[in-house]
Amino acid sequence: MTSDPAAAAAFAAAFGGSADGRWDAPGRVNLIGEHTDYNRGYALPIALPQVVRCYAAVRAGDRVRVASQQYPGEVLGVSIVELGSANVDGWARYPLGVVNEFLRRGHSIGGIDLLLDSELPIGAGVSSSAAVECSVALAVSDLFSLGVTRDELVDIAHTAENFYVGAPTGKLDQSAAMHCTTGHAMLLDFADDHRTQVPFDLAERGLALLIIDTTTKHELAAGAYAERRSECERAAALLGVGSLREVNNTDDLAGLPTLLERRARHVVTENARVLAIADALATSADPRIIGPMLAAGHASLRDDFEVSTPELDTAVDVATAAGAYGARLVGGGFGGSVIALVEVADVAAIDHAVTAAFRSAGFADPRTLVAEAAAAARRVR
């Protein structure tokens, strides 16, 4: 059942009847640690209060039906036996891919209806895709009493994204959506999936983490992300290591071809920045000291990893000139959002400065949001 009248009406219109419950999964921003996850490195995300909601009901028969409040009028139904081979396009690949992955792993599932509703902007680098996957994964696991652990739900959501959607991402976004906790950042170690909570309360220091969404879209399934990933793998192979995680010193990269050396240097220095920022936050140092490390992270993504854009660079430069202690692009890059560490008192001025700069550069207006460290995916009703 749902007490949200708009969702209840949409559910009834799409499928008939009402939902058995609602499962929410959050978006994320990553404080630091980009393009490290698929290199067995470190990252430090927080979950956002903004979520994707999945309203779900078990149904007789063997059809999986999906609808989305963001794509009204599109209801797609596929029978369970055809799910693996179905030719699915667009947004529906994410929920259907998750159901398919449960089946592929031998879990026993029957008919199910899924209505999605997102508070997260799509393509803004705050991980709306993983939030869809994780809300659906939790709903399926609960409704069919599968008893699947959160670690396996992360794997299910991640595998669906890699093989059903075809985006060769790491596990950062799904891990953040399933494991982050309120008031903390989560230090993730992708070598062994170890997690460490790090206190994250900027407000008590008069600070805010501003998200500046450039409203330029990124599309991870497109070639550039996959290309960066394979460049990292080539660099590791040439260095004779299993992954770039095993390299701690940038001097060890010297023999690589120039392009691969730059890509690998980003990963090696980014891992060091994650550990330094996690340490600064954990030891209750003044969080302002992480500003220059955020700035260095952006420069590395811009110059060595080459995943920035003029809009992202403008947002970083203008926010910094207007008083941010540090700012950097967040997520995979090629568009999406920037985060900036700012005084609470400066939020409005920085917002205005970035908007003015975007207008004079002929860019679309950015959207801003203050990030808070919120909870992981959960059943709400």
Residues near ligand GAF, by CB under 6 A: 34-35, 37-38, 127, 169-170, 172-173, 220, 331-332
Smallest distance, ligand GAF to C-beta of residue 219, A? 11
| Closer CB to ligand GAF, 7 or 220, in the complex | 220
Nearer to ligand GAF, 173 or 311 (CB): 173
Task: Identify whether 173 is a catalytic site residue.
Answer: yes
Which of 41, 291 has the CB closer to ligand GAF?
41
State the Cα–Cα distance between residues 216 and 314, nearest whole angstrom: 13
CB of 129 to ligand GAF, least distance (A): 7
Name which of 184 and 328 has its Cβ closer to ligand GAF: 328
In the sheet that holds 326-330, the strands lie side by side as 326-330, 337-343, 207-213, 367-371
Cβ proximity to ligand GAF, 118 vs 127, nearer residue: 127
Catalytic position from the list 20, 117, 173, 346? 173
Q: Nearest approach, Cβ of 218 to ligand GAF (angstroms)?
A: 8
Nearest distance from residue 339's CB to ligand GAF, in Å?
Answer: 13
- Report the alpha-carbon distance of residue 13 to residue 343 in Å, rounded: 46
Smallest distance from ligand GAF to CB 256, Å? 21
What is the nearest approach in angstroms of ligand GAF to the Cβ of residue 104?
Answer: 21
Residue closer to ligand GAF (CB basis): 20 or 133: 133
Counting every residue, how long is the chain? Answer: 381
Active-site residue set: 173
